[in-house]
Amino acid sequence: MNKPVLISGGTLVDPSQNLNRPGRILILDGRVASIDPADGDLPAQYDTIEAGGCLVAPGLVDLGVELREPGFEEDETIFSGSQAALAGGYTSILATASTYPVIDSHAAVEFVRQKAAQASGAKIHVIGCLSKGQKGEQMAQLGLLSEAGAVAFSDAPRAIHSDALLKRALEYCRMLNRPIFDRPEIPEMAAGGVMHEGQVSLVLGLKGLPTEAEDLAVARDVRLAEATDGRLHVGPVSTMGAVDMLRRVKSRGVVVTASVCPHNLMQSDRLMRTYESRYKVHPPLRSPNHVATLCQAVKDKTIDAIQSGHMPRSREKMMNDLDESPFGVSSLETSFATAATALVRSGILDWVELIDRMSTRPAEIAGIDGGTLTVGSPADVVVIDPNAGWKVDPGKFQSTCISTPFEGMELIGRIQKTLVDGLVRYDAAIPV
């Protein structure tokens, strides 16, 4: 049994309860026992976490992380990925099936679950394959995958190419009450692209990823969601066209959700002028107009959630020329600070809104426990120093991947502690 914990001195920030005030929180048996307990209600013995000057919020929830195990352990393992998640303030992450073999069977789901349990990091939830072998042809055994514990289905990082397959899957998943995640892109239009197609790619001679490739896919996706009444999540999105489409269908009452990566909220394609592979991310860094539109869309909830977009790739793979280097970014450990710097420091969001987009709303979309500090919920908690500035040093990452577009940048919002089920699993004050 875990020892009771009292977190005191901080500001409780919990969008699920409209909390944004000083307060303390008592954790018993790994669950939130009470908010602002009276001194007389405290147990005889407990540990205290002094959170003066910090935000105390539900742990972050990530809707799409590549963990690369099994098959590509040189990029990331379940252990290193889950530790990186903790360091980034995440208490739950959804792992995509960019593995070999892909996660399209009960055994594959079980493998990840067992490895995750051994890792003792952030909670890892499995996104099962939408199609058998991730080939985009036949539906995977979605019902059995769901029984095995998959919380969502996707062929990410591949886009769902077949319109008919996506429609069938949306219809089928209604009975499972599981969402389908699509990374929206028309593959033929994006083939060979390495960066945003625009004025910069034109001058650099680099093959572009046209915005139309994403816009058209989002249009297809939301139309099928409307037609089937299925649970659809699109993301990460990166274009003004995608935002426009989402805004239109949401105004009509169509239930569809969307997410964005923090680097797409902060950086533009101009950085590709350096030709450095650390800026080769997918979806790509778009032009400044797209960046501004995405930030506003997060504000007005056209975009529901911010996901890290963590796509770890080994240093060796990233050392090649831009055509050969894979898309890759290590972002679990910078995600919160990037979003805070891009959105809160600039006045677009307040801290409650940011926690909503990175914790409460993602948990709702995924249909998992988390994203709340309500009494009785698992004590997945993050303690954040909101004003602490820090310089990104990938040499200190928990992740195996050190490729980040933020190397050397000053960001705000430092994760101080991450608690999973009431246990401190990450403490910035204790070097790993």
Partner 1 sequence: MASERNAPDLTGYTDSWQRRHLLDLESLSADEIRTLLDVAQELKEATEGCRRKLSLLSGKTCANLFFENSTRTRNSFSLAAKRLGADTVEFGSSGSSTAKGETFADTAKTIEAMGVDWVVTRHSTPGTPNLLARELTCCVINAGDGPHEHPTQGLLDLLTIRQHRGTLEGLTVALVGDIAHSRTARSNIWGLRKLGAHVIICGPPTLVSPRWQELGFEVAHHLDEILPRCDVLNLLRIQFERQNARPFPSVHEYAALYAMNAKRMRLAKDDILIMAPGPINRGVEITPEVADGPHSVILEQVTNGIAVRMSALYLLSVADDRFRNQA
Cα distance between the two ends of the chain: 25
Nearest distance from residue 237's CB to partner 1, in Å? 23
Q: How far apart are CA 382 and CA 91, in angstroms?
A: 8
Nearest distance from residue 136's CB to partner 1, in Å? 21
Nearest distance from residue 192's CB to partner 1, in Å? 7
Nearest distance from residue 76's CB to partner 1, in Å? 20
Residue owning tokens 């309500």: 374
Helix 106-119 vs helix 78-87: angle between axes, to the nearest 10 degrees?
50
**Nearer of residues 250 and 278 to partner 1, judged by Cβ:** 278
Nearest distance from residue 321's CB to partner 1, in Å? 4
Length of the chain: 432
Nearest distance from residue 325's CB to partner 1, in Å? 9
**Nearer of residues 88 and 210 to partner 1, judged by Cβ:** 210
**Nearer of residues 110 and 407 to partner 1, judged by Cβ:** 407
**Nearer of residues 46 and 275 to partner 1, judged by Cβ:** 275
Binding residues vs partner 1 (CB under 8 A): 191-192, 198-199, 202-206, 274-275, 316, 319-324
**Nearer of residues 229 and 324 to partner 1, judged by Cβ:** 324
**Nearer of residues 328 and 413 to partner 1, judged by Cβ:** 328
Nearest CA to 65 out of 29, 25, 97 is that of: 97
* 289: number of Cβ within 10 Å: 12
Nearest distance from residue 189's CB to partner 1, in Å? 11
Half-sphere exposure of 360 (CA within 13 A, CB side): 19
Nearest distance from residue 323's CB to partner 1, in Å? 4
Own/partner pairs for 32-37, CB < 8 Å, 24+ apart? 32/373, 32/374, 32/375, 32/376, 32/377, 32/378, 32/379, 33/4, 33/375, 34/375, 35/373, 35/375, 37/6
**Nearer of residues 74 and 427 to partner 1, judged by Cβ:** 74
* Omega of the bond leading into 157 within 30 degrees of 0 (cis): yes
Phi, psi of 252 (to 5 degrees): -90, 0
**Nearer of residues 277 and 331 to partner 1, judged by Cβ:** 277
Q: How far apart are CA 58 and CA 168, in angstroms?
A: 35
In the chain, the largest separation of any two C-alpha atoms, in whole Å, equals: 70
Cα→Cα distances 425→35, 88, 95, 336, Å: 22, 12, 19, 17
Cα-to-chain-centroid distance, residue 105: 23
**Nearer of residues 11 and 400 to partner 1, judged by Cβ:** 400
CA dihedral 33, 37, 38, 42 (to 10 degrees): 40
